[in-house]
């Protein structure tokens, strides 16, 4: 009888990796990783707090003046708060999502790569493009295999007024390529726009 009770409890915990409950759990856990701690931003500065957030979510960052990408959360550099400024973000296979974008009050980010980011949606791109600091600093952006992105999100990027290079690939939600090309020709005539869309 005791074995039966324990067995039922154990069986109740086992779920297949693709099960619905498993997806809810991972979604919840990823939301926890993306939670913004405004006190932490105030205490350590926006670049350090953003580095912690991005690395916690599986992204990597590169700081101004450094060639090496920072990949290990446990080896984040220490020192004066204003010493390490994020220059580039590679969010390949990361779980960053909109709720974490309050960390993006960064002034020196020039390049962002969003590749296979399952939680990135149109609203995320809209938020990014409305951040005044990024409107000034962003030069390059790549968006690859982010299935929740549509034409609406891509067109919102026209607010990044200094953007020089934009690469879009494998975005099934993007349907009107010609409309995107025309929108960027009008708003950002010097932009190099590369499309690898079906």
Q: In the chain, where are the structural domains located?
A: 23-196
Classified as helix, coil or strand, 52 is helix
pLDDT at 28: 56
Distance CA 38, CA 167 (A): 32
- Whole-number Å distance between alpha carbons of 119 and 87: 23
The pLDDT value given to residue 29: 61
Strand order in the sheet with 140-144: 60-63, 86-90, 111-115, 140-144, 165-169, 192-196
Residue owning tokens 């493009």: 129
pLDDT of res. 82: 79
Phi, psi of 55 (to 5 degrees): -70, -35
Give me 182's structure tokens: 């025309």
Strands 86-90 and 60-63: antiparallel
Number of helical H runs and strand E runs in the chain: 8, 6
Q: What angle do CA 67, 68, 73 make, to 5 degrees?
A: 145
pLDDT at 22 (0 to 100): 53
- Strands 60-63 and 192-196, how do they pair? unpaired
pTM for this one?
A: 0.84
Q: What is the pLDDT of residue 35?
A: 80
Mean pLDDT for each consecutive 10-residue tract of the chain (198 residues)? 38 44 56 80 92 95 96 90 92 93 93 96 95 96 97 97 98 96 96 94
Angle CA 38–103–78, to nearest 5: 85
Q: Exposed/middle/buried for 115, CB within 10 Å: 0-12, 13-18, 19+?
A: middle
CATH class given for the domain over 23-196: alpha beta
pLDDT of res. 20: 52
The pLDDT of residue 36: 83
């Amino acid at each position: 009888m005791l074995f039966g009770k324990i067995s039922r409890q154990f069986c109740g915990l086992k779920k297949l990796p693709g099960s619905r409950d498993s997806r809810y759990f991972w979604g919840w856990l990823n939301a926890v990783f993306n939670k913004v701690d405004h006190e932490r931003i105030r205490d350590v500065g926006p670049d350090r707090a953003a580095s912690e957030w991005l690395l916690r979510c599986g992204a990597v960052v590169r700081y101004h003046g450094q060639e090496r990408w920072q990949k290990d959360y446990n080896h984040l550099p220490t020192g004066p708060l204003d010493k390490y400024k994020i220059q580039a973000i590679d969010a390949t296979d990361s779980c960053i999502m909109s709720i974490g974008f309050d960390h993006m009050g960064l002034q020196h980010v020039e390049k962002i790569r969003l590749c296979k980011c399952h939680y990135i949606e149109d609203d995320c791109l809209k938020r990014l493009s409305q951040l005044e600091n990024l409107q000034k600093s962003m030069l390059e952006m790549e968006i690859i295999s982010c299935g929740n992105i549509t034409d609406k999100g891509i067109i919102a990027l026209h607010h990044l007024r200094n953007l020089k290079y934009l690469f879009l690939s494998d975005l099934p939600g993007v349907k009107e390529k010609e409309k995107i090309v025309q929108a960027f020709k009008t708003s950002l005539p010097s932009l190099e726009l590369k499309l690898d869309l079906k």
